[in-house]
Amino acid sequence: MNVQCGCSEIGFDPTLDLARQRASSSERIRIPGGAALVHHGIPRESQEPVVMMTLVRAMVVLGVLALIAYGTYAVISGTTKRRTPVADAGPRWVAAHYAVNEMTRIVVRRLNPGNGDVLDEHIVVEIPDSDSDFDAKFLEAMAEARARAALFESESD
């Protein structure tokens, strides 16, 4: 509630600029009941702190709502995207190689994913480590092992 002053009754010049009007008022008058004295439409007490507190409160409320929304999304999406544990997956065919008696053996293995035990193994090729064309033969044999692993994997599904 605002109460209008009686400045025109005492000869106050309303044509003065706003800065001079504020400078000419020597004190602010507070009326019991929370009303502020309004001087030609200009409230004598600034409303800026109230506006700032309202904005701060609104930002806090929006932040809390955003956290609640994110938490709800995380819970819902976390329960729908559960993956099959590795131990529950079946055995897989994989290509592998290892050295035995100065030879490199390229194999296709069937592994238990839970503990890594070898359930089955098929030798693709053995290449002597001293072979002059070792790199080309090794790459060709690994490609063949991967192809066989894919074939065995498709048959076991």
> Could you tell me the residue ranges of all domains in the chain?
2-43, 86-156
User: Can you give the pTM of this predicted structure?
Assistant: 0.44
The arithmetic mean of pLDDT across residues 121-144, rounded, is 92
State the greatest distance between any 2 C-alpha atoms of the chain, in Å, as a whole number: 116
Is-contact 137 128, C-beta < 8 A? no
Residue whose pair of structure tokens reads 């729908």 in the numeric block: 80
d(CA 37, CA 3): 5
Task: Of 151, 104, 102, give the one whose Cα is nearest residue 123.
Answer: 104
The arithmetic mean of pLDDT across residues 86-104, rounded, is 82
d(CA 82, CA 75): 12
111 pLDDT more than 70: yes
